């Protein structure tokens, strides 16, 4: 939510009171250098106690509301027929307009079931952009992902409001060239995570749906960040200027055959779900639910989390909640633009994204510039971000590195967790780091897992640059900062 000040300036403002807090501390720079080295320069391998501001992800790290917490107290722990499930089903019907819902333990479990049910070896899944886990499950089922984003989607400096749109001409051509039979489904991702949290427009969704329906191809929507995408439609698409987030979400869902989400983001809980109005599609997925997740009324989730997700789904439609991170991220991004630090524009839905290629052009892609920048940010600020570039892309079948289309460091902004002074502190340290960017060098693997290597991979610096960076930092800020 933004509030107009007497100067006319719009200020993002917290529409909540902070009633429970978790203490955090800022370990000194020498300790940060040690911990990031011990963690193999992989921010996933850091411990919370060593981190000041955790901007790794907005997944499962959002602040719950008092209503969510209180709903958890009335959870009904039945293996089958839990009342908690029926409260979730009511919320899904009211908020998303779907009759059938299957809870799963988190978003990637939904992706697993969808790939298992619909993808055969040799099949294609057409999408606006992939997410790591969605691609992994399609690959494991023997399918292949085709990304059909539009011109300019990968440009990091842009004023295109809908970089998440699918290119309709490319979509039509892909269907024609490959034949309808080879296409398992079309997947649209709300605020495409890996290209900077960029939304698609309603107009684009309508057109993708019209084309998919012509060929009788199911349209699947990954709505892990559904309320943010709806908020951007309201803010950026003229037709929806006066519409509520609820109305926009319901219209979005009217164009979708299967909806799934990680409940850990927009819904501020820990779980996930698949929903549809098409009974035949539901009936194909359902038998696999108890095999991989749990019985149909809990799907691997704790009933407490089902209750929290039901409330979170309703709450995410409030203007103050749907905008809660988006407005702060826009402020964060604009402050960095003011300071000349290279970021992805326009601001997206889940994080502020730094463009490592423009930040440290001296580090070649073979030396994982986004990973190196994430490590350098931690070293100089205690802020933990996440690499989203070549490190997050697994090798091809011949063992060659696949160069990512973008080299980003994501500083996620969990909903209702961090404040304006946290942003100002981070902006200050990033400004300092950008001024000292020549000190940053590359990374190389010392231990590399075969799949989703960014999670557990360990790396080392290609030169003693972390030492030089820490020394420069100490010279300006002293030992204790």
Q: Does 348 bind ligand F0G (CB under 6 A)?
A: no
Residue 265 falls in the annotated catalytic set: yes
Q: Which entry of 79, 419, 438, 476 is annotated as an active-site residue?
A: 79
Residue 332 falls in the annotated catalytic set: no
SS3 annotation, 6-65: CCCCEEECCCCCCCCCCCCCCCCHHHHHHHHHHCCCCHHHCCHHHCCEECCCCCCCCCCC
Q: Does 117 bind ligand F0G (CB under 6 A)?
A: no
Q: Does 107 bind ligand F0G (CB under 6 A)?
A: yes
Instruction: Considering only residues 243 through 262, tell me which ones interact with ligand F0G, judged by CB under 6 A.
Output: 262
Site residue total, ligand F0G (CB under 6 A): 15
Closest separation between CB of residue 8 and ligand F0G, Å?
35
| DSSP label of 95 | I
**Which residues, listed in sequence order, are joined to residue 383 by a DSSP beta bridge?**
53
Q: Does 323 bind ligand F0G (CB under 6 A)?
A: no
Residue with tokens 């051509």: 173
Q: Which entry of 129, 131, 259, 298 is annotated as an active-site residue?
A: 131
Q: Does 227 bind ligand F0G (CB under 6 A)?
A: no
Q: By the 8 A CB rule, do 429 and 26 touch?
A: no
Return the range that interacts with ligand F0G (CB under 6 A); candidates 33-41, 69-77, 100-108, 318-326: 100-108
Distance CA 213, CA 139 (A): 25
Q: DSSP states of 129-196 as a string?
A: S--HHHHHHHHHTT-EEEE-BPTTTT-SS---TTTT-B-HHHHHHHHHHH-GGGEEEEEEETTBGGGT
From residue 276, give the alpha-carbon distance in Å to each of 38, 233, 459: 46, 22, 43
From residue 141, give the alpha-carbon distance in Å to each of 106, 184, 213: 19, 11, 24
Among 123, 222, 307, 387, binds ligand F0G (CB under 6 A): 222
Residue 132 falls in the annotated catalytic set: yes
Burial of 78 per CB tally in 10 Å (0-12, 13-18, 19+): middle
Q: Which entry of 187, 265, 270, 335 is annotated as an active-site residue?
A: 265
Measured from the CB atom, is 134 or 277 closer to ligand F0G? 134
**H-run or E-run covering 422:** helix 420-435
Measured from the CB atom, is 111 or 123 closer to ligand F0G? 111
Residue 454 falls in the annotated catalytic set: yes
Q: Does 106 bind ligand F0G (CB under 6 A)?
A: yes
Instruction: Please provide residue 90's backbone torsions phi and psi, each rounded to the nearest 5 degrees.
Output: -60, -45
Distance CA 282, CA 119 (A): 15
Instruction: Considering only residues 122 through 181, tell me which ones interact with ligand F0G, judged by CB under 6 A.
Output: 131, 133-134
Measured from the CB atom, is 28 or 60 closer to ligand F0G? 60
Among 43, 57, 229, 276, binds ligand F0G (CB under 6 A): 57
Instruction: Considering only residues 58 through 77, tell me which ones interact with ligand F0G, judged by CB under 6 A.
Output: 59
Q: By the 8 A CB rule, do 259 and 98 touch?
A: yes
Instruction: Considering only residues 266 through 285, tell me which ones interact with ligand F0G, judged by CB under 6 A.
Output: 272
Closest separation between CB of residue 265 and ligand F0G, Å?
6
Residue 131 falls in the annotated catalytic set: yes
Q: Does 193 bind ligand F0G (CB under 6 A)?
A: yes
Q: Does 415 bind ligand F0G (CB under 6 A)?
A: no
Q: Give yes or no for a cis peptide into 346 (omega within 30° of 0).
A: yes
Q: Which entry of 222, 327, 355, 394 is annotated as an active-site residue?
A: 222
**H-run or E-run covering 411:** strand 408-412
Q: Does 302 bind ligand F0G (CB under 6 A)?
A: no
Closest separation between CB of residue 224 and ligand F0G, Å?
4
| DSSP label of 367 | G
Return the range that interacts with ligand F0G (CB under 6 A); candidates 101-109, 274-282, 335-343, 462-470: 101-109
Q: Does 359 bind ligand F0G (CB under 6 A)?
A: no
Among 42, 224, 266, 324, binds ligand F0G (CB under 6 A): 224
Distance CA 321, CA 245 (A): 10
Residues that bind ligand F0G (CB under 6 A): 57, 59, 106-108, 131, 133-134, 189, 193, 222, 224, 262, 264, 272
Which residues form the catalytic set? 79, 131-132, 222, 265, 388, 454
């Amino acid at each position: 939510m933004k509030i107009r000040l007497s100067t006319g300036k719009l200020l993002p403002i917290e529409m909540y009171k902070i009633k429970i807090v978790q203490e955090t501390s800022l370990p000194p720079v020498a300790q940060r250098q040690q911990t990031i080295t011990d963690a193999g320069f992989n921010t996933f391998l850091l411990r919370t106690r060593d981190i000041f501001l955790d901007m790794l992800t907005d997944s499962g790290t959002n602040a719950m509301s008092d209503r969510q917490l209180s709903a958890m107290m009335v959870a009904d722990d039945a293996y089958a027929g839990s009342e908690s499930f029926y409260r979730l089903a009511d919320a899904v019907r009211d908020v998303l307009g779907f009759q059938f819902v299957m809870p799963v333990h988190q978003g990637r479990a939904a992706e697993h079931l969808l790939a298992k049910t619909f993808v055969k070896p040799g099949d294609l899944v057409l999408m606006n952009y992939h997410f790591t886990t969605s691609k992994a499950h399609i690959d494991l089922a023997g399918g292949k992902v085709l990304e059909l984003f539009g011109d300019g989607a990968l440009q990091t400096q842009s004023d295109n409001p809908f970089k998440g749109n699918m290119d309709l001409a490319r979509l039509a051509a892909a269907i024609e060239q490959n034949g309808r039979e080879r296409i398992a489904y079309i997947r649209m991702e709300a605020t495409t995570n890996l290209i900077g949290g960029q939304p698609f427009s309603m107009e684009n969704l309508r057109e993708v749906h019209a084309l998919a329906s012509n060929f009788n191809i199911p349209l699947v929507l990954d709505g892990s960040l559904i309320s943010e995408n709806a908020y951007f439609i309201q803010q950026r698409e003229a037709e929806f200027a006066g519409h509520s987030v609820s109305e926009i979400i319901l219209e979005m869902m009217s164009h979708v055959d299967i909806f799934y989400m990680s409940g850990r983001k927009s819904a501020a809980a820990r779980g996930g779900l698949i929903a549809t109005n098409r009974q035949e599609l539901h009936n194909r997925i359902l038998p696999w639910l108890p095999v991989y997740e749990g019985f149909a009324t809990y799907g691997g989730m704790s009933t407490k989390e089902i209750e929290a997700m039901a409330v979170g789904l309703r709450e995410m439609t409030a203007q103050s909640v749907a905008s809660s991170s988006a407005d702060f991220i826009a402020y964060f991004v604009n402050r960095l633009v003011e300071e000349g630090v290279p970021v992805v524009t326009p601001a997206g839905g889940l994080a502020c994204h730094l463009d490592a290629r423009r930040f440290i052009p001296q580090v070649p892609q073979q030396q994982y510039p986004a990973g190196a920048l994430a490590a350098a940010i931690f070293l100089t600020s205690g802020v933990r971000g996440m690499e989203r570039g070549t490190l997050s892309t697994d090798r091809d079948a011949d063992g060659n590195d696949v160069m990512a289309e973008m080299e980003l460091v994501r500083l996620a902004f969990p909903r209702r967790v961090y404040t304006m002074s946290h942003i100002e502190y981070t902006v200050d340290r990033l400004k300092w780091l950008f001024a000292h960017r020549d000190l940053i060098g590359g990374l190389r693997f010392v231990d590399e897992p075969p799949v989703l290597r960014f999670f557990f991979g360990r790396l080392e610096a290609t030169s003693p640059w972390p030492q030089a960076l820490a020394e420069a930092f100490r010279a300006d800020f002293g030992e204790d900062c």
